[in-house]
Amino acid sequence: MPGPLDGIVVADLSRVVAGPHATMTLADLGARVIKVERPDGGDETRGWGPPFRDGVSTYYLSCNRNKESVALDLKSERGAAVLTRLIERVDVLVENFRTGVLDRLGFPVERLHALNPRLVILSITGFGHDGPDGGRPGYDAIVQAEAGLMSVTGPPGEPSKVGLSIADILAAQNGVAGVLAALYERERTGRGAVVRTSLLASVVGAHMFQGTRWTVAREVPESAGNDHPSIAPYGTFRCADGAVQIGVANDALWRRFAPLVGLDPDDPRYATVRDRAPRRAELTAAIEKALAADDRATWLARLEDAGIPAGAIRTIDEVYEHPQTRSQGLVVTVDHPDLGVIELPGPPLRFDGAPPRAHRPPPRLGQDTDAVLAWLEEDR
């Protein structure tokens, strides 16, 4: 079934995570995405592992569904000629080269728009396109460190990275938002725009309250583990047989929660959010003393009955087998040419009234080269 971006064609010159995740999102929305890869190995993530399954990287599989693959040496005369024709035909070009690489290949922005004035260009870098670090390469873990994310993540005093490529994912989603806005603007102006974002900008842009703790209050945030620096009780609490996550984010919830754990909701030490936050340690000790009397399942049922936000701390396998995950279409099935029928993490968006969409597996390297070249020769 066609999606909202049916008819939009994307040339994907990106690799690794941020760009490929952005173009996968555009593909999920119905765009045709043509992934241009080096003939000698293709996207680096094709070789990233373990784990592999029958020689195929599961890392690569995570960011490349619903695409076509063209093997093309952009440094060659033939590659430049094919890319020129591709630029003339597509609506969107996505690249995450280091600053200046596309220029050196002979395709500066001015030439791109001379070839196709309606072309929307998304350019993603590690640290931005200008400034003292413009052009500096930036992998996700490096940017998590440099953008302050590690300083507010993990146990106190132990800077930790998020357990997935969050800087890449944020940059991808910001890039998609920019592309969609540029396509909408194109309807009014008739011209394509250049959209620029970076991993650094995307993490800093997501600092939220941690950012204003410094910019407004001049307080340097520190890591607090699973606790919330401004709200209590809000974090991980131990029951008789393990831990649960509980979020008592306002005083109305506190008045329902306190009696469950044997506390007086009107105790002046804990009556308001402002009272509770500075007394987090003693409050946690009191709560865990009560929780130790029963197991997690019992406490989760009690908390749900009382309308208290709480949840189990699940492993990744438990998440994908959970009926709620399945009900939301967050697992999709594809028929891979080498692996057979496999399951992949699915798109997070749904549109009311639209039937479930059939998804295509991530492509083999260069599997669509001949078909795309034939398409480019049409109407010449």
Could you tell me the mean pLDDT of each successive run of 10 residues in the chain, 380 residues long? Answer: 91 97 97 97 96 97 98 96 97 94 95 98 95 88 97 94 97 98 98 98 97 96 90 95 95 96 95 94 95 96 97 94 95 96 95 90 97 88
Encode burial over 351-372: b for 16+ CB neighbours within 10 A, e otherwise.
eeeeeebebebbbebbebbeeb
Domain locations in the chain? 9-206+324-377, 234-314
Domain 234-314 fold is: formyl-coa transferase, domain 3 (3.30.1540)
Structure confidence at residue 2 (pLDDT): 79
Question: Among 29, 3, 33, 140, which Cα is nearest to 368's?
Answer: 33
Which residues are designated catalytic? 168
Distance CA 361, CA 358 (A): 10
pLDDT at 380: 65
Of the CATH numbers 3.40.50.620, 3.60.15.10, 3.40.1280.10, 3.40.50.10540, which one belongs to the domain with range 9-206+324-377? 3.40.50.10540
C-beta separation of 23 from 12 below 8 A: yes
**What does the pLDDT read at residue 20?**
98
CB 99 within 8 A of CB 127: no
Q: What is the pTM (predicted TM-score) of this model? A: 0.93
